[in-house]
């Protein structure tokens, strides 16, 4: 399948694996890239720029296909060594970067000079237009369904994607709620040029996370996610568990007086405990509503082949079948 996204990134299929904390390691990125999609290493999961450089090198030993690095710019008192991470990406010869969080404008000249293509994650049309104006090559448009941070506008993809298509000149992919061939065809119909999957790629053989996490995704329905940190205007969609229930109870009790310090026990340091040790109730971890569409744990190759097979069948058979033959 050929779209502006496959052309831009030099990939066979318009499917991107989003950056995910403690999930986007070399194993998963390489498996997605080898299957014809675009695999992404999560930069900040690596504790230092030197660690990221090693992870990029490790990924190179597993795939000769293009892969990218996710760099999330977070507002923080002690920010990570962003200059070091950017340098590691450039020196590692990575040509695709997925940026998220704050505006990446400050880093654009350096990335562009290194010939790097930048795709920025946005949850609104206004942010997408801003990203386009500072030189981002593509946008990942994240609807309200997505796992992680859906923003504060609560606009789902059925509205957000056609709005993005009306306004943007650069290509964009649909993110949030993406799981299968149906998702891909729907995204294309709404104006996207591909899709970004996060949660769905967690439930694959190569995802380097605890088996209990994968089975929790298979078992979950579309009703099992919760929105946390709304009062702090840092909304995150997570899979419900005992830790999340504790956090939501604090939000209810403390109301408008809540501060980040009050919930730090349920959000700080949770990812290693959940993803590596399988401590499912340790606290809040990102998960999309798309969990309701996850039924199995295939390899990345099986998943991507299946998605593309379904997409072709839907476009060629189902959709064409609705068209009446032209009358001569």
pLDDT band at 136 (very low <50, low <70, confident <90, very high): very high
Q: What is the mean pLDDT of residues 248-259?
A: 96
* Sequence spans of domains, the chain: 4-206
Cα–Cα distance for residue pair 196/200, rounded to 1 Å: 10
Looking at the predicted structure, is the pLDDT value of residue 188 above 80? yes
251-260, Cβ contacts within 8 angstroms, sequence gap of 24 or more: 255/231, 256/231, 258/231, 258/232, 259/232, 260/232
Cα–Cα distance for residue pair 192/241, rounded to 1 Å: 33
Cα–Cα distance for residue pair 128/122, rounded to 1 Å: 6
Looking at the predicted structure, is the pLDDT value of residue 296 above 80? yes
Looking at the predicted structure, is the pLDDT value of residue 122 above 70? yes
Nearest to 43 by CA among 20, 60, 65: 20
Looking at the predicted structure, is the pLDDT value of residue 74 above 90? no
Q: What pLDDT was estimated at residue 327?
A: 74
Q: Tell me how far apart the terminal alpha carbons of the chain are, to the nearest angstrom.
A: 31
Cα–Cα distance for residue pair 193/109, rounded to 1 Å: 26
pLDDT, one tens digit per residue, over 34-53 is 999 999 999 999 999 999 99
CA separation, residue 32 to residues 67, 148, 274 (Å): 9, 21, 22
Looking at the predicted structure, is the pLDDT value of residue 24 above 70? yes
Looking at the predicted structure, is the pLDDT value of residue 260 above 70? yes
pLDDT, one tens digit per residue, over 94-121 is 999 999 999 999 999 999 999 999 999 9
Length of the chain: 328
Q: What pLDDT was estimated at residue 328?
A: 63
pLDDT, one tens digit per residue, over 151-167 is 999 999 999 999 999 99
Cα–Cα distance for residue pair 19/283, rounded to 1 Å: 20
The residue ranges of DSSP E strands in the chain, in sequence order, are 15-17, 39-42, 67-73, 96-101, 117-122, 138-142, 172-175, 195-197, 225-228, 236-239
Protein fold of 4-206: TIM Barrel (3.20.20)
SS3 assignment for 22-53: CCCCHHHHHHHHHCCCEEEEEHHHCCCHHHHH
Q: What is the mean pLDDT of residues 194-211?
A: 98
Q: What is the mean pLDDT of residues 185-206?
A: 98
Q: What pLDDT was estimated at residue 198?
A: 98
């Amino acid at each position: 399948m050929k779209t502006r996204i496959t052309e831009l990134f030099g990939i066979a299929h318009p499917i991107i694996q989003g950056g995910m904390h403690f999930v986007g390691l070399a194993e998963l990125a390489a498996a997605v890239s080898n299957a014809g999609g675009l695999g992404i290493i999560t930069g900040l999961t690596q504790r230092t720029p030197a660690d990221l450089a090693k992870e990029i090198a490790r990924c190179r030993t597993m795939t000769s296909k293009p892969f990218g690095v996710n760099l999330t710019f977070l507002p923080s008192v002690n920010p990570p060594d962003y200059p070091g991470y950017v340098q590691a990406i450039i020196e590692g010869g990575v040509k695709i970067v997925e940026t998220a969080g704050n505006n990446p404008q400050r880093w654009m000249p350096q990335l562009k000079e290194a010939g790097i293509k930048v795709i920025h994650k946005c949850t609104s049309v206004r942010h997408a237009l801003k990203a386009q104006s500072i030189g981002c090559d593509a946008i990942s448009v994240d609807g309200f369904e997505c796992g992680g941070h859906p923003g504060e506008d609560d606009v789902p993809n059925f509205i957000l994607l056609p709005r993005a298509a009306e306004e943007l000149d650069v290509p964009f992919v649909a993110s949030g709620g993406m799981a299968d061939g149906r998702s891909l065809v729907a995204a294309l119909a709404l104006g996207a040029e591909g899709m970004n999957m996060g949660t769905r790629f967690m439930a694959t053989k190569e995802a380097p996370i605890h088996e209990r996490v994968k089975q929790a995704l298979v078992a979950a329905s579309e009703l099992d996610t919760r929105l946390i940190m709304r009062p702090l205007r840092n909304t995150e969609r997570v899979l419900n568990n005992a830790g999340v229930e504790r956090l939501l109870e604090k939000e209810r009790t403390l109301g408008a007086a809540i501060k980040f310090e009050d919930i730090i026990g349920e959000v700080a340091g949770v990812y290693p405990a959940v993803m590596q040790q399988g401590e499912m109730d340790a606290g809040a971890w990102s998960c999309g509503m798309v969990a309701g569409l996850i039924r199995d744990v295939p390899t990345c190759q099986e998943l991507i082949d299946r998605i593309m097979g379904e997409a072709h069948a839907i476009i060629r058979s189902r959709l064409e079948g609705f068209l009446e033959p032209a009358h001569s």
